[in-house]
Amino acid sequence: MVEPDRDWLARPVLEVAPSLLGAHVTAGGVTVRLTEVEAYAGTRDPGSHAFRGPTPRTEVMFGPPGHLYVYFSYGMHWCCNVVCGPDGEASAVLLRAGEVVRGISSARGRRDAGRARPHPVRDLARGPARLASALGLAREHDGLDLFDASSPVQLRIATGGVGPVRQGPRVGVSGEGGDARLHPWRFWLDGDPTVSAYRPGATRGRARGTGTGRSRT
């Protein structure tokens, strides 16, 4: 595992997204190995929050790369994206799912609170809201610079092979120009049990991910 530099994240989003598979994200005493991500390309992507240009909410997506875009989904859950691509061009990678490889007890403390039965280990970060919850990511992390020496969130990239990678439509995203297959921008590790289930987007829906469909957890 190595720490990326800002130039590594400044590449086009469709190059960065699959490169994040197998990476480790550490926050709140928990480390998650990423097994599923989605790419969003800003003003050239109808599924992106930034499709219509910058707003106070989406300004961070326009760079520089290496910041976090954390947003609230359906008034219930936080979801986390890593901003990438050239500075000034909004793009980000949604962290969709992963395996908790360190800090399982801390992840359980966040995910199992108030539950009669604990989640299976594979489900602790299986889905974007679950992943953010397991890591303890919330509003205060929006805009955080991963390259700040004091950053409470760390990203380390896998240097070896991570196994077969699959590619397909994004999960639950509407606003795809009528055909989700036009944006096969979800990438996942083939056969990994922590990858979330695929659900097509509804015709209408409020924002999810960096897109305009619904996020399920």
Give me the pLDDT at residue 201, please: 63
pLDDT in tens, 84-101: 999 999 999 999 999 999
Read off the tokens for 47: 């599924």
pLDDT of residue 118: 87
How many structural domains comprise the chain?
Answer: 1
CATH number of the domain that residue 72 is part of: 3.10.300.10
What pTM did the predictor assign?
Answer: 0.89
Within a domain: residue 35? Answer: yes
Q: Which pLDDT does position 126 carry in this prediction?
A: 97
> Which stretch of DSSP H or E encloses residue 18?
helix 13-19
Tell me, yes or no, whether 201 lies in a domain: no
Q: What is the mean pLDDT of residues 54-82?
A: 93
- The enclosing H or E element of 129 equals helix 128-135
Section 45-70 average pLDDT: 94
HSE-up (13 A, CA, CB side) for residue 64: 9
Rounded mean pLDDT of 175-186?
70
Q: What is the mean pLDDT of the chain?
A: 89
Is residue 214 included in any domain, yes or no? no
Beta-carbon contacts of 170 under 8 Å, excluding residues fewer than 6 positions away, are: 38, 47, 176, 180, 183, 185, 186, 201, 209, 211, 213
- Answer yes or no: is pLDDT of 216 > 60: no
Per-residue pLDDT of 114-141, as tens digits, reads: 788 888 999 999 999 999 999 999 999 9
Q: Residue 175 — pLDDT band, cuts 50, 70, 90?
A: low
Residue 63 lies in a domain: yes
Instruction: Please state the rounded mean pLDDT for residues 68-73.
Output: 94
pLDDT category at 212 given cuts 50, 70, 90 is very low
Q: Which domain holds residue 120?
A: 6-189
Which pLDDT tens digit goes with each residue over 100-116? Answer: 999 999 999 999 887 88
Residue 213 pLDDT level (bands cut at 50, 70, 90):
very low
In a domain, 203, yes or no: no
The pLDDT score that the predictor gives to residue 107 is 96
| pLDDT value at residue 206 | 40
